[in-house]
Amino acid sequence: MIDFSLSDEQKALQDMAHEFALKEMRPNAARYDRGDVFPEDVMTKAFEAGFLSCNIPTEYGGGGLGDLNTAIISEELAWGCAGMFTAMMASSLALTPIVLYGTDEQKKTFFAPFTKKMNFAAFCLTEREAGSDAAATKTRALRDGDHYVINGSKCFSTNGGIASLYIVFALTDPEKGVRGVSAIIVPRDTPGIIIGKEEDKMGHRASNTAEVTFEDVRVPVKNLLGKEGMGFIVAMKTLDKTRASVGAAGVGVARAALEHAVEYAKTRVQFNKPIALFQNTAFKIAQMAMEINAARHLVWHAAWLMDRGQPCGKESAMSKCFGSDVAMRTTIEALQIFGGYGYMRDYPMEKLMRDAKLLQIYEGTNEIQRLVISREVIGPIK
Ligand code: COS
């Protein structure tokens, strides 16, 4: 049976996230977009509201939100400010490998700090020479008795400069290539972690992005997630699960742009009538509304599959790719409706357009999403 209505619990979650976005994120979004300061005040409130631990299972003190619920709140939080959303989402992304592959002991040990106070985690997969080609990782984690010794550099790591915990993908067996990659939990206070300069980004400026270098970083073997050599699968399964949240963020950013454009088009008078009465404007609005609805359905379908434990790699990639493309197209068209005002920083449109761009790039570029989708649709070729 298909049911498009949200349950009372889901509506309450949506309202709660919307209120938070409206009252705490939106009023501070421009300020943090312009400065180079991490929004600690807003994030402290996000922690208190449970957004920073919402994917930690309830038995370990978290919110235990399922995937559809996560998609619902992601749309609202990105509607509030995509940069702040990214700081929250990237931490959930980094905790997901522990949710999926952690032992009971690892979950108890490493989730506790996230449920007790504001903390952030960082997912360390990307390297300078291993971006889309994630399997080309060069970082090494060589075994020395009961420890791994990690050496290498990870770049564009969201929360890299502020994280208390890193999930590092490194070669434990360089001879085996992609099957020699392992996922290792690395606490920030381990000696040998060097934080590079914070990246000066075009958008999502409220989030921290930095290079993280590991120089002879020794962590106990018990910090290994899953088995040795399973790291690439851990990364791929994690991304299969989290990419729908990026699609949801695309819907949130696009919806914000559409709402601003509608409001403006109804009050902006040119040639003696509101510009909403010109067919050019009205049709742009219709197109944006259609695409946003379609994107949300893709996101919710992917999340619905995840909640049922069904294969969702293709659907997750579709929702991420389509949702972020819709965010890009919608913000461009909405800005056009604002004309010259849209280009000015006093208005919200240019930030939304800058923020939309990153959604097409992070958690796997949209070219990679199309690769994932097409590989599954085409299947093996003899
Ligand atoms: N689930 C489970 N296993 C998967 C998988 C998935 N979603 N995707 C790949 N694998 C497995 C494959 O089955 C293969 O296993 P075997 O060697 O046992 O056959 C192995 O992983 C290697 O996969 P594949 O050959 O497809 O690897 P490729 O290098 O060709 O491509 C892509 C993998 C391009 C899909 C991957 O590198 C990718 O997603 N890149 C983008 C990385 C990314 O999103 N970065 C953002 C960082 S987080 S902000």
pLDDT, tens digit (0-9, with 9 covering 90-100), for 356-365:
999 999 999 9
Question: Burial code of 258-284, b = ≥16 C-beta within 10 A, e = fewer?
Answer: bebbbebbeebeeeeeebbeeeebeeb
| 3-state SS class at 356 | helix
Q: Is the Cβ atom of 236 under 6 angstroms away from ligand 1?
A: yes
- Spatial distance between the Cα atoms of 248 and 254, rounded to a whole number of angstroms: 10
Pocket test for ligand 1, best of 236, 241, 314, 321 (most atoms within 8 A of CB): 236
Q: How far is the CA of 97 from the centre of ligand 1 (A)?
A: 15
Domain 121-229: what homologous superfamily? Butyryl-CoA Dehydrogenase, subunit A, domain 2 (2.40.110.10)
**pLDDT value at residue 1:** 67
- Spatial distance between the Cα atoms of 237 and 306, rounded to a whole number of angstroms: 11
pTM of the entire structure? 0.97
183 C-beta neighbours (distance < 10 Å), count: 31
Q: How remote is the C-alpha of 137 from its chain's centroid?
A: 21
Enzyme catalytic residues: 363
Q: Is the Cβ atom of 359 under 6 angstroms away from ligand 1?
A: no
Pocket test for ligand 1, best of 181, 232, 370, 373 (most atoms within 8 A of CB): 232
* Token digits of residue 48: 């208190």
Per-residue pLDDT tens digits for 307-347: 999 999 999 999 999 999 999 999 999 999 999 999 999 99
Beta pairing, strands 121-124 & 165-171: parallel
**pLDDT value at residue 35:** 87
Domain ranges in the chain are 8-116, 121-229, 232-378
Judge: domain 8-116, CATH 1.10.1240.10.
no
**pLDDT value at residue 45:** 98
**382 — pLDDT class (breaks 50, 70, 90):** confident
Q: Is the Cβ atom of 372 under 6 angstroms away from ligand 1?
A: yes
Q: How far is the CA of 122 from the centre of ligand 1 (A)?
A: 20
- Spatial distance between the Cα atoms of 20 and 42, rounded to a whole number of angstroms: 10
Q: Is the Cβ atom of 47 under 6 angstroms away from ligand 1?
A: no
Task: For domain 232-378, give the CATH number.
Answer: 1.20.140.10
- Ligand 1 atom with least separation from CA of 243: 44
Per-residue pLDDT tens digits for 170-198: 999 999 999 999 999 999 999 999 999 99
Q: Is the Cβ atom of 46 under 6 angstroms away from ligand 1?
A: no
Cβ neighbours of residue 311 under 8 Å, at least 6 residues apart?
A: 305
Alpha-carbon separation of residue 243 from 21, 25, 89, 172, 185 (angstroms): 21, 22, 10, 27, 21
Mean per-residue pLDDT, 31-35: 94
